[in-house]
A = this chain, B = another copy of it.
Amino acid sequence: MKKQNVPASVKDEKLIEIRRNQMIKGAVSLFKEKGFHRTTTREIAKAAGFSIGTLYEYIGKKEDVLYLVCDRIYDEVSERLKRDIDPKKGDTKSLLLAIKNYFKVMDEMQDEVLVMYQEAKSLSKEDLPYVLKKELEMVEMFEAILKACVENGEFDLHENERKLIAHNIFVQGQMWGFRRWALQKLYSLEEYTNSQIENLLTGINR
């Protein structure tokens, strides 16, 4: 799956990678602070450490930066999740581990997630589906685990129930970041995780 649609005048793929990394890093912190629309391309270039002219050697238009940022965040979250999850292993313990890890990632990347969360709607009509697809893939990871559990007889859930619970897990992870103003006053990440897991399990194991 390659970054689609983002044109670069520069040929050197390695350099593109480097420059875009600089760009994304700068942009995330700017978007976090003031949002996509209030951030100017000049500011992005400056934060990235190069000139406005150079910025446009590596993107076609401002929106591309947002796409790159969203794309990167998903890749990172995805990769970190896959790293310690085995969707085949269908036992409750694995499920809980996956949830814990996911919540931890969400906690560590909450700035990025918040950015993506709030700015994704500014993506163009073409880019949005691509990003949503990535999100769905992550939900499907949880669904796969749940399915494996069911198949293993750990508990019993119909397909739609599984899907919904997968969504719930996914959203509860995001919640921790985007409702931090309310939640993080009440709980530590650990408490939050345990409580949500408990809600989930006692629900499932009827």
Q: Which of B37, B139, B200, B205 contacts A204 (CB 8 A)?
A: B200
A183 within 8 A of B: yes
Q: How far is the CA of A136 from the CA of B179 in the complex (A)?
A: 11
Q: Which residue of B lies closest to A174 (CB)?
A: B171
B interface footprint on A111-137 (CB within 8 Å = 1, 0 otherwise): 000000010011000000000100010
Which single member of B132, B171, B183 contacts A175 (CB below 8 Å)?
Answer: B171
In the complex, whether A155 has a CB less than 8 A from a CB of chain B is yes
Identical subunits present = 4
Q: What is the predominant secondary structure among interface residues of chain A facing chain B?
A: helix
Residue of B nearest to A163 (CB): B186
Instruction: Give the nearest-CB partner of A36 in chain B.
Output: B37
A37 vs B40: C-alpha distance when bound (angstroms) = 13
CA distance A118 to B157 in the complex (A): 33
A4 interface hit (Cβ, 8 Å) = no
Contact B171 A179 (CB under 8 A): yes
**Interface residues as binary, A135-161 with B (CB distance below 8 Å gives 1, 0 otherwise):** 010010000000000000001010011
Which residues on the B side are within 8 Å of A175 (C-beta)? 167, 171
* Inter-chain contact B205/A205, CB cutoff 8 Å: no
Residues of A within 8 A of B (CB): 35, 37, 118, 121-122, 132, 136, 139, 155, 157, 160-161, 163-165, 167-168, 171-172, 175, 179, 181-183, 186-187, 191-192, 195-196, 198-206
